[in-house]
Amino acid sequence: MALSISRSAFRSLNTAFGFSNGLNGHRVVGQSVFCVESSAFRKLCKNEIFGKKRVKDYVNGILLINFYLVFSSSVLTPGSGEDAFPSDLLSRKRVITPERTVGLCQDLVIPVTNFSNEDKGLMVLAGHFFDVPIRKDIVHRAVRWQLAKRQQETHSTKTISEVSGTGRKPWRQKGTGRARHGTLQQGPQFRGGWFYYAWSKATNHAIKLNKQVRLLGLKIALSAHAAEGKLMVFEDLEVPSHKTKNIVNYFKQLEDTKKLLLVDGDTINEKLRLATQNIHYVNVLPSIGLNVYSILLHDTLVMSCDAVNRIVERMRTPINR
């Protein structure tokens, strides 16, 4: 394990122990820290040059060095300077930068590109919409609400008063060996007959879901794709022509992607619509049509800058339906 010394503490240590040129040549970014092996620091305390008592008194009495068990993006390595810190006191282990913790509502900086993979700058995504805690129960409720809401209620079954037929007795009561029947109206035991418990013509399968939960489900779906690195932002969704090969060539460049969802701004680009209409694994939606179920059906989500701004504005606006 590496002990990390803050920049101000290390400067004091530098001055006290006479490292006049040793560490000043190394650039430190922001509040980054230097990492030194704990075993190496114990070796420093026993070094004959400084003396064990001097180092111990300095650490315990004056500085009380603030050792933080953190990782650093700026690490001193052996051979990084001519008059650098003694190489045998530095760690040869690679300090790994910890992965980003998902769900802290931190703003995300995402590169902006296009179908030609050109660098178009950076875009900041609001953490309150693209970095919320992942909750599977909320996503499940949102998907159930969406699938139930989209049912068309076109199913219909007939009751006894709605089936066609006559009241004549089909055959005599006895002697035929068949079951007795008193009418030609098709009973529930016959094919095409009426139903005891028929579906109502106005059955509504929609379930109730609070507006805040519906909105949270969309935020979680976007945050999950952003956390997996499957959310990309394009400057626009312009394609050179309406040829399908433009989209197919870009799709082949994507890794671990079986289905791709493109989200445009207010309206879908006509060339883009024609280029994707014959590809079953690529779908296009306007920003107003983005939903939880469609996001979960696709591995990769590509949105234009205009679509991102419209979606953020949509999530900030209260739901009135």
Q: Are residues 127 and 54 in the same domain?
A: no
Q: Are residues 238 and 280 in the same domain?
A: yes
pLDDT digit string, tens, across residues 211-254: 999 999 999 999 999 999 999 999 999 998 999 999 999 999 99
Give the Å distances, CA to CA, from 223 to 33, 79, 97, 111: 31, 42, 21, 16
Q: Are residues 136 and 253 in the same domain?
A: yes
**Domain assignment of residue 321, yes or no:** no
Q: What is the pTM of this model?
A: 0.62
Q: Are residues 194 and 219 in the same domain?
A: no
The reported pLDDT for the residue numbered 185 is 72
Q: Sheet harboring 260-264: ordered strands across?
A: 122-125, 108-113, 231-234, 300-304, 260-264, 282-286
Q: 3-state SS string over 138-171? A: HHHHHHHHHHHHCCCCCCCCCCCCCCCCCCCCCC
Range of the domain at 260: 108-149+210-316
**Domain assignment of residue 144, yes or no:** yes
**Domain assignment of residue 235, yes or no:** yes
pLDDT (mean) for 184-209: 81
The reported pLDDT for the residue numbered 159 is 84
Q: Which amino acid is at 78?
A: P
Among residues 186, 149, 181, 141, the alpha carbon closest in space to that of 166 is found at 186
Q: Are residues 53 and 180 in the same domain?
A: no
How many domains would you assign to the chain?
3
Q: Are residues 237 and 306 in the same domain?
A: yes
Q: Are residues 139 and 247 in the same domain?
A: yes
The reported pLDDT for the residue numbered 59 is 41
**Domain assignment of residue 97, yes or no:** no
pLDDT digit string, tens, across residues 70-84: 333 333 333 444 455
Across the chain, mean pLDDT equals: 76
Q: Are residues 51 and 74 in the same domain?
A: yes
Q: Are residues 131 and 251 in the same domain?
A: yes
The reported pLDDT for the residue numbered 196 is 82
Task: Give the range among 10-24, 198-212, 297-311 with minimum mean pLDDT.
Answer: 10-24
**Domain assignment of residue 278, yes or no:** yes
**Domain assignment of residue 283, yes or no:** yes
Q: Are residues 132 and 272 in the same domain?
A: yes
Q: Are residues 167 and 142 in the same domain?
A: no
CATH number at residue 301: 3.40.1370.10
Q: Are residues 144 and 28 in the same domain?
A: no
**Domain assignment of residue 95, yes or no:** no
Structure-model confidence comparison of residues 281 and 61, the more confident one: 281
